Structure 1
Amino acid sequence: QEILEVLNIPYTGPGVYPNILSFDKIISKQIFINKGIPTPPFYFLNTSSFRELGSSKLLPFIIEKIGLPLIVKPAAQGSALGIKVVNNKENLTEAIIYALSYSKKVILEKFIDGIELAVSIIGKEKPRTLPIVEIVPKKNFFDFESRTGIGETDYFIPARISPDEEKKVKEAAFAVNDSLKCSKLSRVDIILDRKEKVPYVLELNTSPGMTDTSLLPMAAEQAGISFEELVDEIIGMSLEK
């Protein structure tokens, strides 16, 4: 995208800066914290720190601070690749090594028991949210197979949440969009805590999928926007000066 910017060639998406910030989940989560946007508590490790300090020193401290279960995921990866849910300390080292095979840095994040939601935001001058998608994977975790496999996940559009909860979720999504200087198109992934009803932001995706099982086209269809109309709007925004 930086090359396209230099060559003055239009491209889809919110731009180079938001892509850099959102792709590195450590940077984006630190921005969320600084802006007062709820995000699950986390620690991060890189390959050298994990190798030098060792799991025997690091992991008991992290488990004590975050608790179990927790999520282990690559800091710079998409489509839920490299992610594992860890329910006991015996499996934590294996999950970290697995995540490090996808990225040089990994995040260890508190598991939030809640409703998984996807909020698509579209528009340049006046961004708007599409209907919120509620995600219910059949294996209790929205991993790569659940995201891409037909029939692996149930989707509810609009999400089965109250008007007050919907308002909170949309406010969080717009706050994330603004904090990462995002425009034109994005999808914000959120976990709505079942007990506290707090919308915890997981990440912002600047390149939402456009396949048969992708969340953005699902939300657009619910809003009465055909796939062709969605593509036309995305391209149209990208051609605007």
Structure 2
Amino acid sequence: MTKLRVGLLFGGRSGEHEVSISSARAIAKALSAEQNASKYEILPFYIQKDGHWLAGEAPQKVLGTGMPLLESQESISEGHLIAQSPWQSPSQVSEVDVWFPILHGPNGEDGTIQGLLTLMQVPFVGSGVLGSAMGMDKIAMKMAFEQAGLPQVKYKALTRAQVWSNPCVFPKLCDEIEAALGYPCFVKPANLGSSVGIAKVRSRQELEAALDQAAGYDRRLIVEAGVVAREVECAVLGNDQPKASIIGEITYDSDFYDYETKYTEGRADLLIPAPLPDAIVRQMQDMALQAFAAVDAAGLARIDFFYVEATGEVLINEINTLPGFTATSMYPQLWAHSGISFPELVDQLIQLALERHSIG
């Protein structure tokens, strides 16, 4: 049987570059597992932080060490194939049968790379342009959830221009946020992942500083009302007939689930399955599938919820269409506890990509 050549695309220009490398290493290991080794051949492609694409030995080196290559000159001196884009390395790109992009954050899970892969006319794992873009932009995402009738926390959408362009209007803007959402509230860039640029604020002074900081990351901002709730997550797998996993819960001692808490060992604990009433579990699973459909996601997604235990409310927080994919990440762990091993999960995602491409 001829092996399918899987283009494992990782690295990228976002702040989640190192997370992408960790995810890629885990996927490469899964593709090399006994049940997959006879079916797939890995062709790794590494995008450096400066945007250069590397093929050949360089991606293998990164997968082996887990450390990024920071300078293009370093790669050139080592004799690796380097290109400004995949179009400049046709001999390598044209060999790929199916792509597995594992680029987290902007320029990776926001529809940009998905558009490029669509133009290549080769199947790829995960959502297409629309699903990826809506899953990345928190404002568009929340509007889609609202249209689908999914309950969520109160929020206010803003632009960088509202924050920076007119100092006379800024105090009024803060007044409106305080009146609509109160304290504490969360200020977020609309298009960044892994809690980058997010701040929890409890006063006017903190609000002003957080808005200024978030505007430095993105021209679209969102402010959300704080809520006392448990944070729980559900994984979805599939295309037109997706299925939902069991529910997992995140517990931590920090003020909120920020970048440091997410990626520092021992700072957060995952409870799988989450200790929840059966009716709440079924409700979350149903809402997860509704959210998946609302943004036109495909292949995989992780949907995050707030469970307000005092009232029994379930509020949808967000969808992540390209979640962390290390062996200890919530998405693969939820499926492992649902009966799908990591190697089997990777295999199913590739098969789903081929299925979606064949249907068109």
TM-score range (shorter-chain normalised) is over 0.9
Q: Say if 1:147 and 1:213, in contact at 8 Å, map to a contact too.
A: no
Q: How far apart are residue 125 of structure 1 and its match?
A: 4.4
What corresponds to 1:2 in structure 2?
Answer: 115
Give runs of aligned pairs for residues 41-56 of structure 1, distance below 5 A. Answer: 41-54=154-167, 55-56=170-171
Give runs of aligned pairs for residues 145-184 of structure 1, distance below 5 A. Answer: 145-184=260-299
What corresponds to 2:237 in structure 1?
Answer: 122
Which amino acid letter does the alignment assign opposite residue 199 of structure 1?
V
Q: How far apart are residue 53 of structure 1 and its match?
A: 4.1
What corresponds to 2:129 in structure 1?
Answer: 16
Counterpart-to-counterpart distance in 2, 1:178 and 1:125? 8
What corresponds to 1:83 in structure 2?
Answer: 198
Counterpart-to-counterpart distance in 2, 1:90 and 1:232? 50
Secondary structure of 1:50's match? Answer: helix
Q: How far apart are residue 51 of structure 1 and its match?
A: 1.9
What corresponds to 2:141 in structure 1?
Answer: 28
Secondary structure of 2:282's match? Answer: helix
Counterpart-to-counterpart distance in 2, 1:113 and 1:28? 22
Counterpart of 2:320 (choices 205, 208, 215) is 205
Counterpart of 1:38 (choices 151, 174, 188) is 151
Q: Say if 2:246 and 2:281, in contact at 8 Å, map to a contact too.
A: no
Deviates more, 1:48-57 or 1:28-37: 48-57
Secondary structure of 2:187's match? Answer: strand
Counterpart-to-counterpart distance in 2, 1:120 and 1:104? 30
What corresponds to 1:68 in structure 2?
Answer: 183
Deviates more, 1:6-15 or 1:63-72: 6-15
Counterpart-to-counterpart distance in 1, 2:326 and 2:300? 16
Q: 1:52 to 1:100 in 2, by over 3 A?
A: closer
Q: How far apart are residue 183 of structure 1 and its match?
A: 2.4
**Which 5+ residue runs of structure 1 have no aligned equivalent?**
none
Counterpart of 1:58 (choices 145, 167, 173) is 173
Matched, 1:190 2:331: no
Which amino acid letter does the alignment assign opposite residue 38 of structure 1?
P
Q: 1:178 to 1:125 in 2, by over 3 A?
A: closer
Q: How far apart are residue 5 of structure 1 and its match?
A: 1.2
What corresponds to 1:113 in structure 2?
Answer: 228
State percent identity of aligned pairs.
30
Counterpart-to-counterpart distance in 1, 2:250 and 2:267? 11
Counterpart-to-counterpart distance in 2, 1:223 and 1:172? 18
Counterpart-to-counterpart distance in 2, 1:189 and 1:50? 28
What corresponds to 2:251 in structure 1?
Answer: 136
Q: 1:53 to 1:199 in 2, by over 3 A?
A: farther
Counterpart-to-counterpart distance in 1, 2:151 and 2:312? 11
Q: 1:212 to 1:169 in 2, by over 3 A?
A: same
Secondary structure of 2:319's match? Answer: strand
CA deviation profile, 1:71-128 (whole Å, cap 9, x unmatched): 1111011111111111222211111122122211111101111110111000234311
Could you say which structure has the greater relative contact order, defined with CA pairs below 8 angstroms and 6 or more residues apart? Answer: 1
Counterpart-to-counterpart distance in 1, 2:181 and 2:147? 19
Question: Highest CA radius of gyration, 1 or 2?
Answer: 2
Counterpart-to-counterpart distance in 1, 2:277 and 2:323? 26
Which amino acid letter does the alignment assign opposite residue 87 of structure 1?
R
Q: How far apart are residue 194 of structure 1 and its match?
A: 2.4
Secondary structure of 2:165's match? Answer: helix
Counterpart-to-counterpart distance in 2, 1:144 and 1:123? 28
Which amino acid letter does the alignment assign opposite residue 185 of structure 2?
L
Counterpart-to-counterpart distance in 2, 1:94 and 1:136? 27
Secondary structure of 1:43's match? Answer: strand
Q: TM-score, normalised by structure 1?
A: 0.95
Counterpart-to-counterpart distance in 2, 1:100 and 1:116? 26
Give runs of aligned pairs for residues 209-220 of structure 1, distance below 5 A. Answer: 209-220=324-335
Secondary structure of 1:182's match? Answer: coil
Q: Say if 1:116 and 1:192, in contact at 8 Å, map to a contact too.
A: yes
